[in-house]
Amino acid sequence: MADKEKWDQVQDPSTEGYAIYQGMMAGLACFAESIRGFRQQVTEMTRTYFEPLKRRTSGAYAQAYSRFYSDMLSIGAHIFKKMIPTRTMSFERTDRTAIGHRFVATYQAGLYV
C-alpha cells in the first residue's frame, strides 16, 4: 500500500477507516445480486408491459411503465403484508442509483409509432 497509515486504519476495527472499508466491501458483495435483480426487472417489464403495446409512442411507454411500477408496489405490499403484518413497509428506493431512460418512437411501415 502506498499509504501505510491508511492501511493500518483499515485493519483496526476501532477506527472509522475500518468501518468505511467494511461498508464498501459489503456493498461490493451485494452488487452482483443487485445487477441481477435489475436485469430481471427490465426483462419482465419489457416482456409483459412494453412488447404488447400496439403503439410505440412516448405516452404509451410512459403508461406501461406506470402500470409496471404500480403492479410491483401492489405485489410487494401483498407479499410483505403476509410476512410482517405488524409493520408498515416503505417501498421507496433506498439505493438512489441514477438510472436514465428515454422513450423513443420508431418508424414502421411509413409511420412513427
pLDDT tens digit sequence for 3-61: 888 888 888 899 888 898 898 888 888 888 889 989 998 999 999 999 999 998 999 99
Interatomic CA distance for residues 26 and 47, integer angstroms: 32
Q: Which helix (H) or strand (E) holds 108?
A: strand 107-108
Q: Is the model's pTM score more than 0.75? A: no
Sign of CA dihedral 36, 83, 81, 29: negative
pLDDT tens digit sequence for 58-79: 999 999 999 998 888 888 877 7
The angle at the Cα of 85, spanning 83 to 89, to the nearest 5 degrees, equals: 85
**Buried-state track 75-97, b at ≥16 Cβ within 10 A, e below 16:** eeeeeeeeeeeeeeeeeeeeeee
Contact in structure between 18 and 9 (CB atoms under 8 Å): yes
* Greater model confidence, 72 or 94: 72
